[in-house]
Amino acid sequence: MDVSVVRALAAPDGQELLRSLPPYSEGSVLTLQDQLRSAGHTPELAAAALTQQRLRARATAKFGEFAADMLFTPDGLEQATRLEVAVAHAHRFSRASLATVHDLGCGIGADAVTLSSLGVTVRGVDSDPVTAAVADANLRPWPDSRARLGRAEDVRFGVDPGRNRVGAWLDPARRTRGVADISGRTRRTFRLDDISPSWDFVQQVAAAVPATGVKLSPGFDHAAIPAGTEAQWTSWAGDVVECALWWGPLVMRRGRTARVMGADTAPVVVDESMADDVARLAGSLADIGPWLHDVDKAVIRAGLVGAATRATGGVESDEGTGYVLASRDVSLPYTRRYAVHEAMPFHVKTLRAWLRTNGVTGLTIKKRGVRLDDEQLRRDLRIGTKAGSGEQATVVLTRVGGSPTALVVSPA
């Protein structure tokens, strides 16, 4: 797809064409392609329309009903900020009473669209021509907001951005141009030194524009957090989707924070004031209580497992596992709680004997802090995933006090 095709799809006739397509079905693609060509559409436009039909079907998981009016690229959709997370970003800028936000590396415009919907004028740039054109098309309901082809490094913010209510949002590319995986998507990079624009440039923008935010990899190093900023790790349905850094008036709680989000729950924020400086650790199996808390991964990434140990009076099973063992009956909105029924040193023969003695024929395996192959373990245990005529059990394999341990649990 080139820029001219993007513009054709964004035009009224192109939008009417996209709306006329039936729900996406892999089996009907060739038939639809023939029909579109017979109706007089060029092969390029027909192929692009069908690609958009497929991408819109995928995009519903991120954008809900809004996906039906947006354009996408495969890489752009994969990297785009989920709608609910973009709303959280936009509210920071809106609360700071900013009039204009420069979206540097705007991608397909997910954040730009959300900002615009809150009344903030967006000036977006992206270094890829097709991506910039797609973002500009997605911004068409807000005529004051635009996206154009350009380099983040070439953007000028005007005189005294703070006084003139100007902000900046950066989403540096975290993919290696020209290096693709087997599906044709460019490969991810997890090194801070490899992002584009560079980390040095991000910090230069933050020095020039007081209201600056940047979206980074969840693997962002705590040691690299600039003084006075807020580094917030965000999870959606248990998966960590980003670490965002905020400067100046966009900071809500300084230091490391975690934002836990999901489809059916209200967002929860955990910060350093809620946590022990260092999570207390278990010393042995004697520290295992009746409850196990599986701490949300955003809280783990933010280094705030100490919030769970403080709230429960418990201990982390071992450093970095994110499993908190507790005797106190407490529910937390950022953990998944399990009742512990049995605890034993982890040996295949010992666990296999316990499963046989208790009539367990179906097993769910959760693990953290131990390295093993699930399928090989199942072969060694001689057990599958479904119970059949026997009992079903869940086993957590982790370290407790440095020793491999098996905990038989059930959701509480």
Taking all residues of the chain, what is their mean pLDDT, rounded to a whole number? 94
Chain segment 29-83, per-residue pLDDT in tens: 889 989 999 999 999 999 999 999 999 999 999 999 999 999 999 999 999 999 9
Task: Please provide the distance, in angstroms rounded to a whole number, between the alpha carbons at the two ends of the chain.
Answer: 50
3-state SS track over the chain: CCHHHHHHHHCHHHHHHHHHCCCCCHHHHHHHHHHHHHCCCCHHHHHHHHHHHHHHHHHHHHHHHHHHHCCCCHHHHHHCCCHHHHHHHHHHHHHCCCCEEEEECCCCCHHHHHHHHCCCEEEEEECCHHHHHHHHHHCCCCCCCEEEECCHHHCCCCCCCCCCCEEEEECCECEEEEEECCCCCEEECCCHHHCECCHHHHHHHHHHCCEEEEEECCCCCHHHCCCCCEEEEEEECCEEEEEEEECHHHCCCCEEEEEEEECCEEEEEEEHHHCCCCCCECCCHHHCCCEEEEECHHHHHCCCHHHHHHHHCCEECCCCCCEEEECCCCCCCCEEEEEEEEEEECCHHHHHHHHHHCCEEEEEEEECCCCCCHHHHHHHHCCECCCCCCEEEEEEEEEECCEEEEEEEEEC
User: Among candidates 96, 79, 9, which has minimal Cα distance to 46?
Assistant: 9
Mean pLDDT to the nearest integer, 20-25 = 89
CA 117 to chain centre: 22
In the chain, the amino acid numbered 190 is F
pLDDT band at 213 (very low <50, low <70, confident <90, very high): very high
Q: What confidence score (pLDDT) does residue 277 get?
A: 87
Q: Are 289 and 314 in contact (CB under 8 A)?
A: yes
pLDDT at 358 over 60: yes
- The pLDDT tens digits for 278-317 are 889 999 999 999 999 999 999 999 999 999 999 999 999 9
Q: Which is more confident, 23 or 323?
A: 323
Cα-to-chain-centroid distance, residue 21? 30
Strand partners, 101: 122, 167
Tokens of 122: 């967006």
- Beta-carbon contacts of residue 143 (< 8 Å; ≥ 6 apart): none
Residue 85 corresponds to which amino acid? V
Q: What angle do CA 77, 78, 83 make, to 5 degrees?
A: 65
Say if pTM beats, i.e. exceeds, 0.85. yes
347, 342, 345: which is closest to 360 by C-alpha?
A: 342
* CA 145 to mean position of chain CA atoms: 26
**pLDDT tops 90 at residue 389:** no
Please tell me the predicted confidence (pLDDT) of residue 191: 78
Confidence of residue 350 (pLDDT cuts 50, 70, 90): very high
pLDDT in tens, 124-136: 999 999 999 999 9
Average pLDDT over residues 82-110: 97
Q: What's the CA gap between 381 and 377, in Å, rounded? A: 6
